């Protein structure tokens, strides 16, 4: 099936269809509501063919609908039904989950998204577990999101921020018994050198992950057994 992937961000909304070779985008801002998003996406993709939709959402997700309002967009997202609004089957996941799923290449992987805050997810055995590691403390008075996100970078400087990223990445790698960590998000390129057992994600990961949400996995030991990726809440 052909998939339309929508990656909703605080600055831009990016779209790509699995049957198309280009990415289209438009600016987002604190006034963007879900109704406005759907209308604009429909206008900009009217010449694309797709059967189903994947949405990466910058906030908490439960039961295929937003559970919390995003901090950098308009209101009205909680409980919004994207399948009904688009008139096609839609699957909604946290944006870090979608990026993590696209970056996954086997084993037990921890994803950390370095952006405005800290996105996080664990992927293993065709199961994706959304995490909220940004709420954990890193030091006595700050959270991981405050320290590793944009606030920490601007307040503490790049050298200290990079050292904090190394410290947190190493600790989380061992805490989750992960085989490797993928650093994604807009600030991942600032981490150089990378911590051990860590690699950077790519710009295409969100779109790959959005398509994978609709994949069926054929088990190597049983060609008759198929199961989809499962996002655990």
Give the per-residue pLDDT at 20: 83
Fold agreement (3-94, 98-206): yes
Cα distances (angstroms) measured from residue 2 to each of 17, 20, 50, 229:
7, 9, 5, 17
Over its C-alpha atoms, the chain yields an Rg (Å, rounded) of: 18
pLDDT tens for each residue of 84-132:
999 999 999 999 999 999 999 999 999 999 988 899 999 998 899 999 9
Q: How far apart are CA 144 and CA 147, in angstroms?
A: 5
Domains of the chain by residue range: 3-94, 98-206
pLDDT class of 11 with cuts at 50, 70, 90: confident
pTM, whole model, 2 decimals?
A: 0.89
Q: Please state which architecture CATH assigns to domain 98-206.
A: 2-Layer Sandwich (3.30)
Tell me if residue 6 falls in helix, strand or coil: strand
Note the CATH number of domain 3-94. 3.30.420.40
Helices 205-212 and 95-103: crossing angle in degrees, nearest 10, is 90
């Amino acid at each position: 099936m052909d998939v339309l992937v929508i990656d909703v961000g605080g600055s831009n909304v990016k779209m790509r269809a699995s049957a198309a070779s280009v990415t289209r985008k438009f600016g987002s801002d604190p006034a963007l509501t879900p109704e406005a998003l759907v209308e604009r996406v429909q206008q900009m993709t009217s010449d694309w063919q797709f059967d189903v939709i994947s949405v990466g959402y910058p906030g908490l997700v439960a039961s295929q609908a937003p559970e919390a309002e995003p901090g950098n967009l308009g209101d009205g997202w909680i409980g919004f039904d994207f399948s009904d609004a688009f008139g096609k089957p839609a699957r909604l996941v946290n944006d870090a989950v979608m990026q993590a799923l696209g970056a996954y290449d086997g084993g037990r992987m921890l994803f950390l998204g370095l952006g405005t805050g800290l996105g996080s997810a664990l992927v293993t055995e065709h199961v994706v577990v959304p995490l909220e590691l940004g709420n954990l403390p890193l030091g006595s008075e700050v959270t991981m999101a405050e320290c590793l996100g944009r606030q920490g970078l601007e307040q503490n400087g790049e050298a200290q921020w990079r050292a904090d990223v190394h410290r947190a990445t190493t600790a989380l790698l061992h805490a989750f018994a992960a085989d490797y960590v993928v650093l994604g998000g807009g600030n991942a390129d600032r981490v150089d050198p990378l911590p051990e057992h860590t690699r950077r994600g790519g710009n295409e990961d969100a779109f790959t992950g959005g398509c994978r949400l609709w994949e069926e996995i054929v088990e190597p030991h049983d060609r008759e057994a198929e199961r989809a990726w499962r996002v655990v809440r």
